[in-house]
Chain A
Amino acid sequence: MSNIVYEAVNWNKSTSELAQVFWDQQWKQIWLPEEIAVSKDIKQWRNFEHQDTYKKVLAGLTLLDTVQTNIGMNRVVAFTPDLQEKAVLTVFDAFEAIHAKSYSYIFTTLCTNEEIDELFEWVKKNEFLQYKANKIADVYNSIEEDDPESLWKAMYASVMLESFLFYSGFFYPLYLGGQGFLRNSAEIISLILRDESIHGVAVGFFGQNLFKKFPLEKQEELKLWGYELLLDLYQNEMNYTDDVYAETGLSPEVKAYVRYNANKALMNIGFDPMFPEEEVNPIVMNGIRNEGSTYDFFSQKGATYAKAKVAPITDDTFNFNR
């Protein structure tokens, strides 16, 4: 039997600057795919010209979320020293699993079993998709005990995945949803996106704290490594976009969106953006702002209700200074 002294997580004493904030925010926005009536999209789906692109986009996202659930968050959790941050990342991991499952929920609603099987075969065969999965997973798998450098690299990879690589896929449902097409599937995507943006900010923030502790020389070296990885992934992303979006004519717009998000990913990890600012399709941009949009009560489930903060009613509740 080993003789390690195990420590219990003590939430009464803050050990991480923002762990509590990230924890609260993630739980506040809890959701499950079954709450959204994707079946309402079936009518439009039947006559949809670019079914193939749409399916592949979602299948690609499924793979990324699977990698993130099974390897990414898992590995980062295992090696993150702070117990509160560990807890937050474990919660994130659970949400990644919900995300991966929710694409299947869309597939089950819209596609036949045969189509679905073909799609998962396609995932295994698509070289660009496999390339990015491998590239990211390799970084995750290289984390070593008591090696903050390898841990930071994994956090960097995680931010790249969540704030950058997902967006070539997110583009399409947002683009269509903003035009009133497959709105319910788009709503699922916008809920996923809402989670991913916390994950990107949080892991980026934890990463930045780690980064600060490295000597300057090391920082420079890691920066270089980071930009190189990003460029490598970016090249692959361009090819992936051409491959998947070829028949829609949307490639240039998707690429602009990918660059926009690459910049955001860099900012999350505390680096300067590298692509010049350019215009992104406003419909897709507005697709992200799902908070506070106004729903009428014949529409789908709004994304705006959250967990309550409970406080007891007291005598003072009945006093008004008016």
Chain B
Amino acid sequence: MKTYLKLNNDVLNRYSTTGQLELEKDQEATRRYFLEYVNVRLRYFIDLEEKISYLVDEGYYEKEFIDMYEMEFIKHLYKKAYDYNFRFPSFMSASKFYDSYAMKSRDGEEILEKYEDRIVIIALYLAQGNKDLAERSVEAIMEAYQPATPTALNSGKKARGELVSCFKLSMDDSMNSISENIGYCLELSRLGGGVGVNLTDLRPLGDPIKEILNRASGVMPVAKLLENSFSYSNQLGQRNGSGVVYLNIFHADIENFISSKKPNADDKIRLATLSTGIIIPSIFFNLMKRDKDIVLFSPYDIFKEYGKRMSEVSISEMYYELLDNPKIRKIKRLNARKLYTEVKKAQFESGYPFEIFDDNVNDVHPLKNIGRVKMSNLCTEILQVQQTSLITDQDEPNEYGLDVSCNLGSIDIHAATKVNDFGALVDTAMHLLTNVSQMTNIKNVPSVVKANKLMHSVGLGCMNLHGHLVTEEIMYGSKDSVDFMDHFMEAMNYYSLQSSMEIAKANGETFYRFEDSDYATGIYFDQYVNEVEKELSPVVLKALGNIPVITPKMWETLKQDVMQYGLFHSYRLAIAPTGSISYIRSCTASIAPSTERVEVRDYADSRTIYPMPHLTNDNSHLYVEAYDVNPYDLIDLYAASQKHVDQGISMTLYVTDNWTTEQLAKVYIYAWMKGIKSVYYVRQRLQSLEECVACQI
């Protein structure tokens, strides 16, 4: 019996019986964890030089990046990192780091890296010989910046996975494209990636093949093929590959698609491990509001008639044209309200499908003149333009389009309010993300390689919002919290644009077709330069700490610079759900409310008890749990943040089982009205029997 696990479990046990938090138990668990587990496994080195040369000679670290620096400089950086006197604030953070991130010997017995070592290696590796950047990176990562898991985990290691792990692919309505994309999925899954595939362009069940009707099998069998590919290819069994498929709600196969995640679905269509998401154009909501039927279409007809794929047209704009055109089959009529109720039912029973609000995404898309955003990724925060590849027969060359690899990082909001120079922090983060994008070469997926070279997209996000609000005594969902995020994200947007402009200026290079973007015309900046300066409450100002309030004048200057020098990155911001990385840093996840004051976290391999960061016996009333946050307040907070984010924000909704499908629909409709771009999971808390009986008697 491991005493540290018992101590860690004791925290919850006491908390749930007495309501008292015994943080000392968690600290004691951390201490015992070091004594019993970490220290006995830590390999001893005489000095840093011996350590580095051992790790290089034994093939643990890559040699090339170490050789870019003098040993004196490396020593200096290690000292800098260790001078922060970092201590793991919770058992969760320590165990997560040593279980999953620290370099271990090949037999798994010895621990070869401490927390500071990992950070210095990430900085040295990503800076690629740039000493100034390496130094700034150590500061940024020790203080407030966290690269996403694949980057944090793999940087500098010789035997390593990729630095990015999230991809979006577009599948075309041809057998060549289907098989090519399944091949990509196998490859990307082998690298541990999560892959999103858009199925909207595939012809539905019963459509013609070579003009003969009732031949096509529709999207579900393709989804099953993808599901099997992901579970086959699983990083040496370490983690199952994972994927999501998206389908437009006007696609003729939508009913089966929606039901596919229900536990009692027919085995032929049931998707056990593959995630699903639906794309919903605004016209759907408008028809639903007027209690109309919707008509389902086949992408096959649309392509034949208009020469465009279904994903390439705006259904909201084309809907009545499609209805009136006799050459477009009206495959099925469904009552919009009934269909949406089915969606809500599926979400209650399985958490799926995710929803992407097509027009909310594309109306404000700064690259709308370059193309449409057709889908999202596995966590619904990546929203970038794609171009479908033309996959030809084997004796002809393929014509590759643009697909997406997402390269993410997050800023700890609480820590960021305390750094001296927030602009510099964002700039360092942007440089690190840029280098990751340039060092990434997913050679087996040419459309990703091509997009990476042309688009330089990154996704900087943030986390620990709830933790920060608690320290500032602001209630999650209150007006102050909304104002805070409005200003925080505006500053993130401003400094990331500034940084991208500076990089473009220095490199003399912009992203592909910058000149066609709303940045180049300056339209993008209208929302800011014409903004009336708002009075901020003292509470919000204090919570912002060292983060500057951006004025319309500053925006005007930036606008001129961007129009003159361009931007290096086609996309800059995206707020990911942040799982493991927020645990390591003892942050609350993303900008979401915490689900429990003392969280029970089940990973596939362990159960860990995690009292929320900054939680004490005195402030627990501020840690209102996600299921108790008014969902409309939560949406207001996300909507305020979303205005400043060029891509998306991963937003989970929290419901209890006494909700009805209608109540859930209402929340989604509100989200759509407020300009939210995507909704990720619906999480549900099942009331316990005690609660049910208690409210009955």
Q: Interface residues, chain A, CB within 8 Å of chain B? A: 18, 21, 24-25, 28-32, 35, 40, 177-180, 183, 197-198, 201, 281-283, 285-287, 289, 291-300, 302-315, 317-318, 320, 322
| Contact of A314 with B607 in the complex, beta carbons under 8 Å | no
Whether A313 and B600, one on each chain, are in contact in the complex, defined by CB atoms closer than 8 angstroms, is no
Chain B 10-52: CB-based contact to A (< 8 A → 1; otherwise 0): 1011001000000000000000000000000000000000000
- Residues of B contacting A35 in the complex (Cβ-Cβ under 8 angstroms): 263
Q: Which residues of A contact B670 (CB under 8 A)?
A: 320, 322
Q: Across the interface, do B602 and A286 meet the contact criterion of CB distance under 8 Å?
A: no
Neighbour of B632 across the interface among A31, A178, A299, A322, CB < 8 A: A322
* B606 neighbours in A (Cβ, 8 Å): 179-180, 183
Q: CB-CB contacts of B346-364 with A at 8 A, as 1s and 0s?
A: 0111110000000000000
Q: Does B452 contact A (CB under 8 A)?
A: no
Identify the stretch in B66-74, B123-131, B682-690 within 8 Å (CB) of chain A at 4 or more residues: B682-690
Give the size of the chain B interface in residues (CB under 8 angstroms). 65
Specify which chain A residues have a CB less than 8 angstroms from the CB of B337 in the assembled complex.
312-313
Identity of the chain A residue whose Cβ is nearest the Cβ of B657 in the assembled complex? A306
Contact A289 B600 (CB under 8 A): yes
Q: Is the CB of A40 within 8 A of B686?
A: no
Report the Cα distance A314→B666, complex, angstroms: 10
Closest chain B CB from A270 CB (angstroms): 14
A306 to B345, CA, bound (A): 10
Contacts of A302 in B (CB 8 A): 351
B344 within 8 A of A: yes
* Supplied contacts A198-B689, A308-B661, 7 more A-B pairs, CB within 8 Å: A283-B5, A283-B607, A286-B9, A296-B601, A308-B349, A308-B660, A310-B661
Interchain CB contact (< 8 A) of B5 among A21, A179, A287, A293:
A179
In the complex, the answer to whether A318 meets B289 with C-beta atoms within 8 Å is yes
Q: Report whether A179 and B263 are in contact in the complex, using a CB–CB cutoff of 8 Å.
A: no
Q: B2 an interface residue at 8 Å Cβ cutoff?
A: yes
A289 touches B16 (CB 8 A): yes
Min Cβ gap A222→B in Å is: 24
Expressed in whole angstroms, the Cα–Cα distance for A293 and B9 within the complex equals 14
Chain B residues within an 8 Å CB radius of A30? 263
Which of A21, A35, A286, A293 has the most C-beta atoms of chain B within 10 angstroms of its own C-beta? A286
**Which residues of B are found within 8 Å of A297, using beta-carbon distances?**
242, 275
A29 CA to B692 CA, complexed, in Å: 13
Identify the 10 closest CB pairs spanning chains A and B, nearest first: A308-B348, A180-B606, A311-B660, A282-B9, A311-B662, A282-B13, A293-B600, A313-B337, A308-B345, A282-B10
Q: Is B595 an interface residue (CB 8 A)?
A: yes
Contacts of A40 in B (CB 8 A): 604
Q: What is the distance, in angstroms, from A290's C-beta to the closest C-beta of chain B?
A: 9
B132 within 8 A of A: no
Count the A-B residue pairs with Cβ separation under 8 angstroms: how many? 162
Measured CB to CB, the nearest residue on chain B to A285 is B13
Q: When A286-B9, A312-B337, A313-B337 are in contact, do A178 and B607 touch as well, CB less than 8 Å?
A: yes
Q: Give A174 Cβ to nearest chain B Cβ, in Å.
A: 10
Query: Is B658 part of the contact surface with A, judged by Cβ < 8 Å?
Result: yes
The answer on a CB contact under 8 Å between B662 and A294 is no
Chain A nearest CB, measured from B106 CB (Å) = 18
B689 near A313 with CB under 8 A, answer no
A31: nearest chain-B partner, CB-CB: B263
B6 touches A21 (CB 8 A): no
Give every chain B residue within 8 A of A304 (Cβ-Cβ). 683-686
Q: Inside 8 A of A295's CB, which chain B residues have their CB? A: 602
A-B contact pairs, 7 of them (CB 8 A): A35-B263, A283-B6, A289-B16, A293-B600, A296-B579, A306-B348, A307-B349
Whether, in the assembled complex, B394 has its beta carbon less than 8 Å from a beta carbon of chain A, the answer is no
Chain B: minimal CB distance from A20 (Å): 9
Contacts of A283 in B (CB 8 A): 5-6, 9, 607
Given the complex of chains A and B, what is the CA–CA distance between A103 and B587 in angstroms? 40
Q: Answer yes or no: B341 CB below 8 A from chain A CBs.
A: yes
- In the complex, what distance in Å separates the CA atom of A310 from the CA atom of B664? 10
Which chain A residue has the least Cβ–Cβ distance from B635? A322
- Distance (whole angstroms) from the CB of B443 to the closest CB of chain A: 26
Closest B residue, CB atoms, query A293: B600
A residues near B660, Cβ cutoff 8 Å = 308-311
What's the nearest-Cβ distance from chain B to residue A118, in Å? 29
- Residues on A with beta carbons closer than 8 Å to the beta carbon of B696: 18, 21
Q: Is B609 an interface residue (CB 8 A)?
A: yes
B264 nearest in chain A by CB position = A30
Contact B607 A307 (CB under 8 A): no
Interface: B109 (CB within 8 A) = no
**Known: A283-B6, A286-B607, A305-B349. Is A311-B661 also a contact (CB below 8 A)?**
yes
Which residues of the partner chain B approach A308 to less than 8 Å between Cβ atoms? 344-345, 347-349, 660-661
CB distance from B515 to the nearest CB of A (A): 40
Q: Is B622 an interface position by the 8 A CB rule?
A: no
A284 to chain B, nearest CB (A): 9
- The answer to whether B693 and A18 touch across the interface, beta carbons within 8 angstroms, is yes
Determine how close the nearest CB of chain B comes to the CB of A254; give it in whole angstroms.
13
Given contacts A292-B686, A306-B348, A313-B341, contact A179 B632 (CB under 8 A): no
Q: Chain A: which residue is nearest B17 at the CB level?
A: A285
Flag if A298 contacts B239 (CB, 8 Å). Answer: yes
Contact B692 A299, beta carbon cutoff 8 Å: no
Inter-subunit contact B662/A291 (CB<8 Å): no
Question: Using Cβ atoms and an 8 Å threshold, which residues of chain A touch B239?
Answer: 298
Q: Is B288 in the interface zone, CB < 8 Å from A?
A: yes
Does B421 touch A at the CB level, under 8 Å?
A: no
Which residues of A lie under 8 Å from residue B601 when comparing CB positions?
293-294, 296
Chain B residues closer than 8 Å to A285, beta-carbon distance = 9, 13
Query: Distance in Å from the Cβ of B336 to the closest Cβ of chain A?
Result: 8
Rounded to whole Å, the gap between the CB of A42 and the closest CB of chain B is 11
Complex: how many Å from CA A107 to CA B332? 47
A310 touching B683 in the complex, CB below 8 Å, given contacts A177-B607, A286-B607:
no
Residues of B443-493 at the interface with A, using a CB-CB cut-off of 8 Å, are: none
Q: Would you call A197 and B689 a contact (CB within 8 A)?
A: yes
Inside 8 A of B627's CB, which chain A residues have their CB?
292
Chain A, residue nearest B603 (CB): A299
- B657, A28: Cβ atoms under 8 Å? yes
Please, which residues of chain A bring their CB within 8 A of the CB of B291? 315
Q: How far is the CB of A159 from chain B (nearest CB, A)?
A: 14
- Chain B residues lying within 8 Å of A309, measured Cβ to Cβ, are 348, 657-661
Residues of B within 8 A of A183 (CB): 602, 604-607
> Of all chain A residues, which has the CB nearest B285?
A318
Q: CB-CB < 8 A to B659: which residues of A?
A: 309
List the B side residues contacting A306 at CB < 8 Å: 348-349, 657, 684, 686
CB distance from A10 to the nearest CB of B (A): 20
What residues of chain A lie closer than 8 Å to B242, measured between beta carbons? 297-298
Q: How far is the CA of A201 from the CA of B694 in the complex (A)?
A: 12
- Whether B602 pairs with A299 at a CB distance below 8 angstroms is yes
| Interface pair A282/B12, CB less than 8 Å apart | yes
B6:A281 contact, CB within 8 angstroms: yes
B596 within 8 A of A: yes
